[in-house]
Amino acid sequence: MVVFLNPSRVGSALEYFRLALVVPILVLSLLVYVLQGIRWHFLLADVGTKLHLPDTILVNLAGQTITAIVPLGDLTRAAFASAAGGTDFGIVAATVTVQELSYTLLLILSALPAILALGYGLAAVVPVVFGIAAIVVILTVSPVFCRVHDLLAHIPFLNRVLPAIEELQQETAALLHRPDVLALSVLDAARVAAAVTAFWLVLEGLEPGRIGWWQAAFVLALSAIGGAVSLIPGGVGANEASVAALLIFLGFDYGAAGAAAIIQRGLVTGLSLVLGFTAYATINRRLHLGGIFQLVSRKPVPTRA
């Protein structure tokens, strides 16, 4: 991507980045993970996992070490919380499912003002919104889930994981029917606001005043969709290409667009790894989380009959 966008132009954009914005960008990026941990703490409390709020935030950060580099890495923090709180893995996985569905939906909705103003992007956003809505309906409406269950039972590979899917559906449905779970989605909205603002400040550091906050939300949301659809660990490559292409479409210089994609990847992956390993080293012995890669390589065994 850097070669295509011209290495000298990308390097020049990075060289002239406004360093005064580095601290607020890092603070907002850290706030994203803190808000994620706080929201998750209340979800865990709803399913009976008793962790202190600081411990939940640290467990959430520790899980980022894998989330940043492998598909479905978010389940690592579910495994950590299950080990630390003694709660069944399937129950904890439901809290992660609810949280990330809420965050993804709100992130996409934050892009709607720019999409409606520009007249582009609906073809990507509408299917994703309907997809999230369909997942929520399947998980919460029993007759619909029964039909999907019957369909999966006839598919050779998927019928082996039906017990896990059933447990996930039961726990997710129970959570989504709780009024406090829906009310506290305001924390997911705050997380979206912090993530978009951090990204917008990155863009301001490269080309001040070029695009507004809502357009930054548009770029961040659509690039997240591109990374997710690619099924590449962490969306590496697809996410950066989407960021650069969308910024160029909005009038960014090629070099600045490439620089923005590189900085955003550094925040998403580099910061996640640093914070994750630091948090893991801080609480591993006290909470008995186990080895990071050991948890990834083995399938957690449900403890509930």
Contact in structure between 96 and 78 (CB atoms under 8 Å): yes
As a whole number, mean pLDDT of residues 55-76 equals: 77
What pLDDT does 302 receive?
Answer: 42
Verdict on whether the full-model pTM lies above 0.85: no
Cβ contacts of residue 130 below 8 Å, gap of 6+?
A: none
Predicted confidence (pLDDT) at residue 294 exceeds the cutoff of 70 = no
What pLDDT does 254 receive?
Answer: 87
As a whole number, mean pLDDT of residues 290-301 equals: 51
Other Cβ atoms within 10 Å of 244 Cβ, number: 27
| Domain regions of the chain by residue span | 7-297
Question: 72 falls in which pLDDT band (50, 70, 90)?
Answer: low
> For the chain, how far is it from start to end, CA to CA, in angstroms?
50
Contact in structure between 168 and 90 (CB atoms under 8 Å): yes
Q: Quote the distance between the C-alpha of residue 254 and its chain's center.
A: 27
